[in-house]
Structure 1
Amino acid sequence: MKRLFLLISILVVSKFSAQTWATEDQYIQRFAQYAVEEMEKYKIPASITLAQGLLETGGGQSILAQEGKNHFGIKCKEDWTGKTMKHTDDAPNECFRVYDDPKQSYEDHSKFLATRKYYTNLFTLDMKDYKAWANGLKKAGYATNPRYASILIGKIERYKLYEFDNTNSKEVLYAVLRKYPDLKDDKAFMAKLEPSKIIKKEPVTVKVPYKQTSYAEQQKRVERIKSNAEILNSILIKSHPNEGLKYIVIPEDTTVRFIAAKFKISESKLVKWNELETDILHKNDIVFLESKNSDGNTATYKAESGENMHDIAQKFGIKLTKLYAKNRMDEGQKPVAGQLIYLIDKKPKN
């Protein structure tokens, strides 16, 4: 949630195709209605919601938006029982919510603000004062970027998103059309605006000559599945958010010996750097290719259900012994779900 910029994939797309949008203008055209509907239900300015969506998704191009229909970077947390996906944000392989439709993401974002005590003061503000809301979000700790409020305000004023704060869900599509007159030529958009004026065309039946193919030819068309060895040989070295430490994510079950040979690092070093107790590495395990740091890249972290201290140490690139020491825990002691784990010493070092 707190990471402001996600990796943007450059895609060649057409308007409103599936989950891809070429520009921020297209994002506004597609999701202004959701933002206004949420404003009516939860009293959150539509301009703020749209600006946050633009920023979090890079105009709809982020991996979370594309693959998970998650437009606000909401992580799983303990109360989430729906589908999930792994994505690197503050740490590698963090758990993020996956939605069936972006509309669900918009509503979840509204509930997130409306039900958490940190944001209570926001709802005492004038709903049409987008500047106060932007600054209020920053003050409440929604994001760590000191320029977060000014970035939101900049997007709102650049695209005149405040205009949506003065409309309703029945009129919002007309407001979009006023902003983007060329949409009158977009049949998909106009169908939503005035469905009764769209003339239905009878489907055209096309006869295609049947051509029999051999079993061998059919098999050639079936997508070839990579073997475990091929998958493992395609592993890429990544840069960890904690000072750029080199690490990999294991794509299939394998051994320390295989990884050591592939990256020309001794097995003993891999075992030491990653505090391993077995030679077996499992799918989605995080493995560092150099010694981890003594501190994490964020101050604290709330342990998730089922996590142990080794999991957290790997997630944040911190030495396990240091992690135990910072939290005054004995070796092997497990955290409980929701426990606040310190990743940086409570008191500054002398």
Structure 2
Amino acid sequence: MPAKPHKGTRMKPNSIALLTLGVSLLALSANGQDRLTREEYIQKYKSLAVEEMEVYGIPASITMAQALLESDNGNGRLAREGNNHFGIKCKSTWTGATISHDDDAKGECFRKYPSVEASFNDHSEFLDKSARYQDLFKLDPMDYKGWAYGLKQAGYATNPAYAELLIKIIEDNQLYHLDRGEEIAPPIMGTPATEEPQQLVAETEQKPKEVVDVDNYSVAVTGQGGQHTVYHNNGSEFTTARPGDTYATIASEFGLTVKKLLKYNDETTVPALRPGEMVYLRPKGKRSENGKLIHVAKEGETLHSISQTYGIRLKNLCNMNRRTPDSEVKAGQQIRLM
């Protein structure tokens, strides 16, 4: 007689179906079906790139292209587990959280952030405070190609084609529209982004143009912000300090952070405010837009005070005059404004 077959445990049909479904779901995940697409990443994080551009002057197209490339559209391990979207390593000055990752060598130290926003901000700070990237800030803010080649030349990445990769990402996805304050419409049914994006209208552009006499310094009121009057100068908005005001109280009233307010006003520390002192609520301009080419310095003025009077970013004013922020200004000296 033939031997009886071994009586093993048989799976019920329902169990087999559940197991099959589980395997299928795992396969889908492994095949990347839950990954962010490039278009999804751009729509999700483009506002962060634009915000950093407004504060630091780094083209939003460059920031977004670097993030897309370095983070694999947000799907890389550093981005998923460490919110590190720019591949920034720890360096000797980093005191925050870290994550180990194999890159040029095994187990290298990379920065770990509490949020994606913190990663974008640290990327801007990293470029802004590193001496080797300072020449980039002298470029036209629309010159994304110059920034791409400059980043490669300054040693941001070891890939010899790094600049070309950034430029291709920018042009394939029309990220240069972000530099111009224009919207990138999300693609429909997988088609490329629209060729005629809708123009973003900034809040200040909806208000009457400022009336500015740059010699006698007078401005027209454009609105109110709680207890403080809001003024308009050189395309930006500012208020004036009242007795008892601090950067913290003004930041709170206008829904800003102290850090951002200090950046708008080119302050590296938190100074005491004098009554009547100008406090900008938005980024200042890169040059004078009021038709004034030259300012003749008065006794006691500094490059910082001149940058506040004309609503020009201190870094841009220094670059135009080939000076540093702490350079002495003498009465009668001519200071370029554009």
TM-score (norm. length: structure 1): 0.44
Of the two structures, which has the highest relative contact order with CA contacts closer than 8 Å and spacing of 6 or more? 1
